[in-house]
Amino acid sequence: MRTIAFTLPEPTPLMNTLMRSHFRKRAKLKRSLAAQIIAALGPDRPAEPFERAHVTIRRFSCGMPDYDGAYGGVKDVLDVMTTPAAREDGTTRNKFGIGLIRDDSPKHIRLTVEPLKCKRAEQRTEIEIVEVTA
């Protein structure tokens, strides 16, 4: 059973922030997020994506978000962790994906998001991906 754990230096944005951002700004955020995850993993990045996994995201911030904001805010993180796939029309699905998990659908992942309160200087996002074999 494979496990990947890494920490991002800031909390994930909340759903309202993502919904109100321009699509180009959001694409830039996804590229930056992908680069941060690749840098955090270093040589521990798996060669093959997890087919099924339990993904736990702990969002440490100085304020406590509501659950819909916390869960909606991890959409870009999940999109970046998925595997890119070609569509029939020639476009790419999840084009910013780095291939840690096969897909972010309930068929492939079980998601847990934990919003936790901390001091402003300790804000971060901890992500743990555990492969599910059965």
Q: Would you place residue 93 in the very low, low, confident or very high pLDDT band (cuts 50, 70, 90)?
A: confident
Gap between the Cα atoms of 16 and 117, Å rounded: 19
Q: Which amino acid type is present at position 130?
A: V
Residue 123 confidence (pLDDT):
97
Give the predicted TM-score (pTM) of the model: 0.92
Q: What are 95-117's pLDDT values in tens digits?
A: 999 999 999 999 999 999 999 99
Residue 67 is encoded by which pair of tokens? 């659950």
Residue 46 is encoded by which pair of tokens? 């798996």
Kind of pairing between the strands at 124-131 and 85-86: unpaired
Tell me the H-state helices in the chain: 15-19, 23-41, 67-73, 75-81
Burial class (CB in 10 A: 0-12, 13-18, 19+), 40: middle
Residue 2 confidence (pLDDT):
92
CB-CB contact of 112 with 57 (8 Å): yes
Residue 94 confidence (pLDDT):
86
Q: What are 5-49's pLDDT values in tens digits?
A: 999 999 999 999 999 999 999 999 999 999 999 999 999 899 999
Domain 3-131 architecture: 2-Layer Sandwich (3.30)
Domain residue ranges in the chain: 3-131
Question: Which positions ≥6 away from 42 have C-beta within 8 Å?
Answer: none
